[in-house]
Amino acid sequence: MKKLAAILLSAAMAVTLVACGGGSTAPASSAPAESAAPAESAEEAAAPAAEGDTIKIGYISDLTGATSLWGTAGQHGAELAIQDINAEGGILGKQVELIAMDGKGEAADSVSALKKMVEENSIVAEIGTNFSSCNIPMASVADEAHVPIIGTAASNELVTVDENGNLHPYSFRMCFIDSYLGTVIGNYATKTLGMKNAALFTVAGNTNSESVGAFIKDAFEANGGTLVAEEQCQEGDVDFRTQLANIGSKNPEIIFVVMNDYAKTATFAKQAREMGIECLLMGHDGWDSAQLAGEAGGALEGCYYVSRIGFNTPEAKAFGERVVAEYGGTMEAECLFGRDGVYWIKDAIERAGSADPEAVRDALEQTDVFEGLIGTLVMDAETHNPSMACAIYECKGDAFEFKEIVEAQ
């Protein structure tokens, strides 16, 4: 019986996979032609050039697969940044060159791409990938090769610190770890909104929800606030009135709703209003959906969530538009990571006064503040986890609008 169920399941999965593949080949198919060519020509061109003539920066991401939409966006951002830098005279008087290789979004391919560019291209540093699953194994390779790597959207804690809590000295990242938003939310609620009593709602067993929730609690209580109610639901729940009745009886001024599913958040808000709970609701990047405000049908009016800044500054928007004008496609925030990665390495090389990978690593680690298009980044030398500026979004009518930037904390 199990066997048959397994066969049926796998058949069903195969059907979905084929269907998914069908949908995503369109954007992917155009990518390899564009991306493979510069990568190869760059390698060929690099070989005859004498060592030290140019500064080579590596870039690894999925350039041909299902997620190449992001991978190529990052590559394009990095290329455009290098064009700009070269036009202004390069770094320390040397021209800069991007070595882009396809990691296919797979750990094994990303690791071999990194080894190849370290051995054959003598890169100074590498940018990417956007996946924790790739950057975790890449971190050990970087440590051995003594070449710094910078993950873009790789948010898992193990990217920069191993299971035993030891730092990977050559592994960095440009995004904040999942739980960081909790601190930002807790601080904003107390310091900016002046909230004293709050309730916390998380999803039991969901690592992201529980860890963000724990950080909200720590920050909120550290600033003198009181958590009057803590409730949880289970994955897949659609009715929250039981927990809401408990929360409502404590009369909180604000409820932190840490769910990663916008429709559940909308249902939560509607049920809260139905039960006469009119207080403010606030959430994390799990609220980041264009549908949320409309789905909530007014129940979230005036409520906030905290997330990345994205294209909400004029500079970031202008750069995103330049990338689209140059390479086509859609505006993907990954292009900002690619661009900022290049500029961060430039900043490190200039501070170190040398393009030696080890010197660059030290300079990256000693970054006080790096002002990029993704926001202000403050490096923590102990963990290599940056604190970053975030954006507050407020619900107005049928959409969430960018409200303000909160600085790194």
Question: Dihedral through CA 371, CA 377, CA 379, CA 384, nearest 10?
Answer: -130
Binding pattern to other proteins, positions 272-311, x when CB under 8 A?
-xxxx--------------x---x-x--------------
Region binding other proteins by CB under 8 A among candidate stretches 9-17, 131-139, 172-180, 332-340:
9-17
Interface characters, 195-234, with other proteins (x: CB under 8 A):
---------xx-------------------------xxxx
Name the one range near other proteins by CB under 8 A: 26-34, 265-273, 301-309, 336-344: 265-273
Check residue 1 for interaction with other proteins (CB under 8 A): yes
Residues 66-125 that bind other proteins (CB under 8 A): none
Q: What one-character-per-residue DSSP string does 16-43 give?
A: HHHHHHHHHHHHHHHHHHHHHHHHHHHH
Q: Give the Å distances, CA to CA, from 318 to 47, 171, 400.
A: 35, 30, 21
Residue 409: exposed, middle, or buried by beta-carbon count in 10 A (0-12, 13-18, 19+)?
middle
Query: According to CB under 8 A, which one of 40, 119, 144, 239 is a site residue for other proteins?
Result: 239
**Interatomic CA distance for residues 144 and 152, integer angstroms:** 21
Part in contact with other proteins (CB under 8 A); list of ranges 92-100, 154-162, 176-184, 269-277:
269-277
CB of residue 278 to other proteins, shortest distance in Å: 12
Q: Name which of 409, 385, 358 is nearest 173 in CA terms.
A: 385
37 binds other proteins (CB under 8 A): no
Tell me the chain's radius of gyration from C-alpha atoms. Answer: 23
From 332, 304, 308, 303, select the one nearest 320 (Cα to Cα): 332
241 binds other proteins (CB under 8 A): yes
Regarding 193 and contact with other proteins (CB under 8 A), the answer is no
Among residues 4 and 325, whose Cβ is nearest to other proteins?
4
- Max alpha carbon distance in the chain (Å)? 74
Map residue 399 onto helix, strand or coil. strand
Can you tell me which of 69, 167, 214, 263 binds other proteins, judged by CB under 8 A?
263
Tokens representing residue 250 in the block? 């404590």
Q: Please report, as ranges, the residues that interact with other proteins according to CB under 8 A.
A: 1, 4-5, 8-9, 12-13, 15-16, 19, 204-205, 231-234, 236-239, 241-243, 245-246, 249, 262-263, 267, 270, 273-276, 291, 295, 297
